[in-house]
Each structure stands twice: as structure tokens, then as C-alpha cells.
Structure 1
């Protein structure tokens, strides 16, 4: 089905009436480089508007007229926000996860939701190992020592990955790629996944085990599941009480998979030897170049350089950059435009609501 240039559409691609303009698309959380790319990728018939902030400005004249709202994970799409955007018929997120979107509110309002389920398994998996290797060889402390003019290796003894047991929680595209890298390091890979043996992992040398066995046997635990009511605070005091003492924890998925107060207690006890975190439960809606703070997403605590988890000497934290490679970002933008175009044509792709 093709749509004549300049014609707006309904939620299922039918041409809307009494509107001479093109499809009105509002992009939020867009930096200058991404805006340049999107201006090239979007059809000329679309009426595109960009906001750089993560928190949508509903007072902007483009917001109440937008038919498509395109967001990233730091822009919460709430019922209240949608009430200020009566023309929206599609929410397109430039992410695999959709926990920042009120799906129930979208369904009730007849708003379709699409996502980008596979933009870079290699990208996120490689960042997972960036964190792991950084922890294994004390890279941050070593660099700091060198910058201060010290070249002593005392206190920087690391550990090998070869022979260690890596426990993967969620063995989908990303988890399976983490497993491939781990096998290359000579590690043994275990996985717990509610779907038992996902297709992506069928050909790999992975032992699928129960949740308790995974916690008890893993030297390193890596999280790769979506955030749902069932996985919220998956790692809490009860789970940390069952882990193998001295486990290393990695999270490049969603911050709220971990009860962070429980993680602090486990770190202080030594139950968790170290943690590599690319995501936090209360990341907020701060712009990428701004200090981490309470910018939204329910942030009500003092997240920032003073927070004890981020200051902990055995935590290596990065600001949700696991997705952020040139290749992955290019795929995200292209697939997002493709998703919007497919919805406009009445043949929606990657629809979750």
C-alpha cells in the first residue's frame, strides 16, 4: 500500500481527512548528529520537528499536532503526556525496551507502539565485556595511578576469565552474543531463561539451568532480560543471599532489575566482589552531556557523583552507553524511520501495542 506524498494517516495507515499537510512526526531526545541523519532519512513529505530534551515540552506548538511521537528510553510516555497530545496515533521508540511507555494507556487511546528489537546485539554484548574486563584488571584504578605518576602494580592483581563460569540471565539476541564472546575467552556458560532454550542460543555450548542453580554456580552474573513486573528487582536481598560468594555482577539491560540498596549491602559484605553497571534504576532524564541527576522517570533520590553506589570502589558505572556505537546508532535511526513508514503504509513492523 502506498500513501500519496503529503497525506497524513490514521493509526492503521488510512489517509486522514481534512488535513493538507504531511505526516507530522515529533522526535525527542535528539542530538545534532542524529538530527542531521534523520533529516536525510525521513521522507520529504513528512513534517518533522525535533526536540533535544529528554522531557517532552508539551507547550511546544508541535506537540499537540504530532501524529507520531518518536522517543528514546529517557522520555517517559505517560497517560498524562498523551492527554496533551490528542493527535498522536503512533509512538515509535528508538529502543528495544518499552518500559518507559504506558502501553495500557496507548491501547486505550488506540495508539500503536513500535520498537527496534534488534539494533546491535554485538554492540551491547561488547560493552558488557568492556565492563567485565575493566573490573577484572582494575583499569580505572590503574589509569588513575599512572596519571598520578605511579607505576606500582601492588594492589592491582586481577583475575582471568578463562575457566570462570558466566551466568547469563536471559539468552536472547544479546545474551547469546555475550555467550559467544565468553566461549571465546574459554569460559563455561550457564543460562537461565524463562523460554528455556531460545533459538538464538540453540547452537551454542550453553547449559540451561534453574534460577537457584545459576545464582549458586556463577562466578560472573550478567543480566540481559527486559524490565517487566516479573523481573523488577530480580536481584534483591533474597537473591544476593544465594549467589556464589565473590560473584561479579554485570548489568547492561535495565537498572530496575536490581534492588540497588540490596546491591550496596552485598558489596559491603563482599558477597558481590564487584559490579559493572551501564544502567541505573533512577537514571533520570538528564541530557547526555549533563551531570546525572533527577531529571524525570520518577527520580526522587540523590543520584549523582555523591551517591554511595557510584562512589563504591568496586563499582564501574557508565552512563547507559551500551547501545552507543556508530554502527548501532545508524541502524536504530534507519529502523525507526522504517517502522514509521511501514505503519504509515498500513503494514506496521515490530508492533508491541
Structure 2
């Protein structure tokens, strides 16, 4: 942890030592930056009251209470593309700008998507367990080829398009659903845009790459799972809120889904804070997630699809550039409207 008493104090939370050192270099070795592997709660209130620039990761939520503890806060430069962990309305009301990292992990997340897909489709996690337990290989470890299968991509943005490129290399047919279809990309990459219902009914694998928005909340629920091709796989490297967990359990238990590869879960933060008192609704969410993880045909990883060396460096470099641009009174990559937020 490093602390500088210069008038402009920036705080980076949830950041490991090596990444903190990289961020220091990107901002300049004399830049007044305080780094902690912990959360905002790990910083003493007096220091927190001096923070003018916050560089959080996706956990935990930055809401009115956290902003109240930082009365001098003028910029939140989140080290992520998604910003659903930040209360934008509260930030706007306080004149706090919010900047994100628009693109950094297209390659990393797309490759990880296929890592999850191959793990579930070829049952690599079960095969590994079998070797560890010195048990004989059985027919239960038999998977299936991706060649010739149909992949349905929900959200054909930068990551989704990279997933499509990889899928075509595997010899898969690809369908895509997006609110803003790009026919040129479809022609060049060789895939089809179709309505969501058609994608669900026709896809052997459905992969989620949509952002967390009110319009995408519980995009996959009991009603939409009923429309899916029986025996399909679900891959989610986007956001947990896209999938209603109780409905996912129902789809798995009733054979609608053959399996799932999940790098993100609904209310995943609560799994790391089981010692805290949770509301009944959040307790139920934790129980649903624990039930998911008990399924042999489900692979869950801790929201790490982005986590390659190259992608993390791009995150840090862009976050530093966002801070420096703000200090030059030329803020960039904003997701909120500029409103007298300069230092």
C-alpha cells in the first residue's frame, strides 16, 4: 500500500501488488495513488474523505453510502467495461463523473468462453476428477464434438464477434441475436442474425455476451428456457443478472439444458461474504448458487474470463489514461454526463 499526501488523492481498491505497480507506472511514479487489495471499508475514514478519484474493480457496489464517505470524490474510473456496480444516478446527483474501459478483453473473454465450452462439452472437469481419484474412465465421461453444431450468440458486440470467429474455426454454424445487427459483419464472418426465439430453438450451445441492463435482466428465465433446444449447453461469461438462477436450476433438473459453464452468477458477491447477515431474498440466492455448484454438469469459475496478463495491462493502461485525461479537463470514456466535476 502506498500513500502520498498530494492534494489529488486517487484510490484503487481490490488491486493486487503487481497490478498496483503497473498502475503506478502508467500514472507516473510521483502520482498520489493509494492502492489496497481490500475494499473501500479497509481505508480509514479520514483518508477516505480526501479521495477525489476512485479506481474500483467490479466488486463491491459503489452507492450513495460509499460516495457520502468520499465527499471530495469527482471521478470514478472503474477498471472494467461493465459499470452496473456503480449507482450512476447517485454519481450524477453528486457531480461525479464515471468512466469505464470500453474494450480490453475481446480476445481474453472469447478464448475463455471456449475454454468453458470445451470443459463442459468434453467433461474435462469430470475427467480430471476421475484421474485424481484413480477411477476407471467410464462412458459417463463421453462428450460431443463442436464441429457441425450450432452456436447461438446473444450479444454480437466486440466479444461476441470474436466468439463467432473462433466458432467458425471449429466448424460450427452460428446464429446471433443483437438489438443492433451489423449485416456486414454477418456476411464477412458467415453467420446469421435471427430473432431470439429462433436462436434459442435452434442452438446446441447458447453463449451470453450482452451487458447488464434493465432490458437484459433475467433475459433467460423459465419462459425463455422452455423455448430452448432440448439438451443444449449454456455458457455465460457476461453478467450473472442475465440469467434467473432458479429458472436455470429448473432447466438443468428437467433436462432442457445438458449443462452450463458459468463465469458469473447472480448475486455472486454474497458467496464471498457468507459470514454477513443477509436478507431472506439474498440468502435464497446464495442457496440457489450453491445448488448450481453441486451439479456435475455445471462448471462455475470466479468471474475471471478477463484475467489474462495482456487484458489486465490494457485495463490498467486505459484506466490510467482516463484519470490523466480527466485531470487535463478532457475526460474520456464517460458513461455519465459531464457536470462541473473537475478538480
TM-score between both structures, scaled by the size of structure 2: 0.90
Per mean C-alpha deviation after superposition, the further-off stretch among 47-56 and 337-346 is 47-56
Cα distance change on mapping 1:69 and 1:295 into 2, 3 Å? farther
1:25-64 equivalence runs, <5 A = 25-57=10-42, 59-64=44-49
Which residue, out of 64, 79, 101, partners 2:64? 79
Alpha-carbon distance, 1:313 to partner:
1.3
Contact kept? 1:55, 1:285, Cα under 8 Å: no
- Tell me what 2:341 maps to: none
Contact 1:54/1:285 (<8 A) preserved: no
Q: Secondary structure at the match of 1:68?
A: strand
Q: Does 1:225 align with 2:207?
A: no
Deviation for aligned residue 1:265: 0.5
After superposition, where does 1:271-310 map in structure 2 within 5 Å? 271-284=256-269, 293=274, 300-301=282-283, 303=286, 307-310=290-293
Q: CA deviation at 1:292?
A: 7.0
Aligned equivalent of 1:167 = 152
Report how far residue 240 of structure 1 moved. 0.5
1:322 to 302, 305, 329: 305
Structure 1 pair 321–294 and aligned structure 2 pair: CA distance change class (3 A): farther
CA distance in 2, matches of 1:156, 1:333: 41
Structure with bigger helix share is 2
Q: How does 1:119-138 map onto structure 2 within 5 Å?
A: 119-138=104-123
Summarize deviations over 1:177-232 as a string: whole Å, max 9, x none. 00000000000010000112277656311100111111111110000011011101
Q: SS at the partner of 1:248?
A: strand
Q: Deviations over 1:109-167 (max 9, x none)?
A: 11111000111201000110000000111111111111122242421111000111100
201-210 vs 334-343, greater mean Cα deviation: 201-210
Distance apart, 1:342 and its partner CA: 0.8
CA distance in 2, matches of 1:204, 1:143: 35
Secondary structure in 2 aligned to 1:62?
Answer: helix
- Shift in alpha-carbon separation, 1:284–1:241, aligned structure 2, 3 A: same
> Which stretch of the first structure deviates more once superposed, 127-136 or 302-311?
302-311
Alpha-carbon deviation of 1:75? 2.2
Deviates more, 1:198-207 or 1:151-160: 198-207
Structure 2 residue corresponding to 1:203, chosen from 179, 188, 193: 188
Deviations 1:1-21 (A, max 9, x none): xxxxxxxxxxxxxxxxxxx93
Helix, strand or coil: the match of 1:284? helix
- Measured in 2, the distance between the counterparts of 1:34 and 1:246 equals 41
